[in-house]
Amino acid sequence: MAKVPELAERAGLDPGPALVVTDEHVADLHLGELMEAFGARSWKPRPLVVAPGEASKSMDTYSLVMDWALGVGITRQTPVFALGGGVVGDLAGFAAATLLRGLPLVQIPTTVVAQVDSALGGKTGINHGVGKNLIGAFYPPRLVVSDWGLLRTLFRSEVRAGCAEIIKHGLVADRPLATRLQRDLGSLMGLRDPIAPELLRDAAAVKATIVSGDEREAGRRALLNFGHTFGHAIEKVAGYGRILHGEAVALGMRAALHLSASLKAGSPLAPEADLPAPFAEADALVRDLRIRTTLDGLETPELMVAMQSDKKRAAAGLRFIVLDDIGAGRVADGVPVEMVEAAWAYARRVGAGG
């Protein structure tokens, strides 16, 4: 992180006033180091510390950030540094997108999710009472500085949940990455050098490649929703914040793998049976995350309804991301309801695997 100011300058930003948005947890752990680095190169950073957690992705906090930024005094050249996880990145990114119709944005992601997913691809935004991420903008950062050392202070559960997204990247688009994860998931979850930073970097590259040329989410970008239609339904029915997003996605991926197998077979697989190759292998990788989330207490009919209101779903019929093979995801439209129900039944039986 000591290099942030220098990298920002190389990216064309002039040392001077800058806004830094972070949350309380990250401020306690890492803000001092960043401020020192700025001080050493004659930047004048002004930090704003918001409350940690999803609740800060709200219209109220957004409005507060705007008041603060405009009160401090900014020009179109004043950069916004987002130091934190996906919450800070999405919130500060949306603020940067809409202050004076766009200030330069620098993402400094501090969670696994942020480093391999949310800080990349230009989606910014906040939540609304009606649903998550309903207000926002596509606004690519000028620069992303990922320092994997920052992840050491994360709770293990946060690291694990982030690793679910890394597995997802491998499964939908990068077979070699998936293969390496089969061997090295333990080193990744333990944040061991040099394997962890390599895998993090390569997982980030998968996302970057997928979104480049698909900024507005028409085509391949949809692959990144693998496990998410199921996962979002789980989060919604469980009540947002009860389980980590990555935990819901892990369980959702197991359902999506069952669905992939059913689609390949042409009829719903029995939920009691083991998955056939290559889905069994992928399924084992997800299970190795040892996430303990289950569907206990969540009814299938409710999950089905929750799934239907997911904003990313096409108006007609059920649309899912499925695998043809490991590393080969695709969009499947008009999926039969019985296959979806069988997938839920499978996920109910096996849980996320922990």
Ligand X SMILES: NC(=O)c1ccc[n+]([C@@H]2O[C@H](COP(=O)([O-])OP(=O)(O)OC[C@H]3O[C@@H](n4cnc5c(N)ncnc54)[C@H](O)[C@@H]3O)[C@@H](O)[C@H]2O)c1
The binding site for ligand X (CB under 6 A) comprises 23, 25-26, 29, 52-54, 57, 84-88, 90, 110-111, 113-114, 117-118, 121, 123, 132-133, 150-151, 153-154, 158, 245
Binding segment for a copy of itself among 29-37, 66-74, 148-156, 275-283 (CB under 8 A)?
66-74
The CA distance from 299 to 180, in Å, is 36
Picked from a copy of itself, ligand X, none, the partner binding residue 63 (CB below 5 to 8 A depending on kind) is a copy of itself
The CA distance from 289 to 234, in Å, is 18
Q: What token pair was written down for 175?
A: 């077979």
Is residue 26 within 8 Å of residue 85, measured between CB atoms? yes
208 binds a copy of itself (CB under 8 A): no
What does DSSP say about strands 123-128 and 131-138: parallel, antiparallel, or unpaired?
antiparallel
80 binds a copy of itself (CB under 8 A): no
Is residue 36 within 8 Å of residue 74, measured between CB atoms? no
The CA distance from 201 to 70, in Å, is 35
Picked from a copy of itself, ligand X, none, the partner binding residue 199 (CB below 5 to 8 A depending on kind) is none
Task: Tell me if residue 220 is catalytic.
Answer: no
79 binds a copy of itself (CB under 8 A): no
Picked from a copy of itself, ligand X, none, the partner binding residue 138 (CB below 5 to 8 A depending on kind) is a copy of itself
Task: Tell me if residue 165 is catalytic.
Answer: yes
Is residue 16 within 8 Å of residue 45, measured between CB atoms? no
Q: Give CA separation, 149 vs 2, 11, 80, 323, in Å.
A: 12, 22, 22, 33
The CA distance from 332 to 314, in Å, is 11
**For residue 43, what are the contacts with CB-CB under 8 A and spacing of at least 6?**
5, 15, 16, 17, 18
Picked from a copy of itself, ligand X, none, the partner binding residue 26 (CB below 5 to 8 A depending on kind) is ligand X
Task: State the amino acid at position 134 in one-letter form.
Answer: L
Q: What token pair was written down for 275?
A: 């998955």
125 binds a copy of itself (CB under 8 A): yes
What does R_g of the chain's alpha carbons equal in angstroms? Answer: 20
Residue 3 or residue 44: which is nearer to a copy of itself going by CB?
A: 44
Task: Tell me if residue 207 is catalytic.
Answer: yes
Residue 105 or residue 343: which is nearer to ligand X going by CB?
A: 105
The CA distance from 110 to 26, in Å, is 8
Residue 103 or residue 151: which is nearer to ligand X going by CB?
A: 151
- Binding string, residues 91-110; x marks residues near a copy of itself by CB under 8 A: ---x--xxxxxx--------
Per CB under 8 A, the list member of 93, 109, 121, 136 interacting with a copy of itself is 136
Picked from ligand X, a copy of itself, none, the partner binding residue 310 (CB below 5 to 8 A depending on kind) is none
Interface positions with a copy of itself (CB under 8 A): 59, 63, 66-67, 70-71, 75-77, 94, 97-102, 123, 125, 128-131, 134-138, 216, 311, 315
Which sequence positions are flagged as catalytic?
A: 101, 123, 165, 207, 217, 221, 225, 228, 232, 245
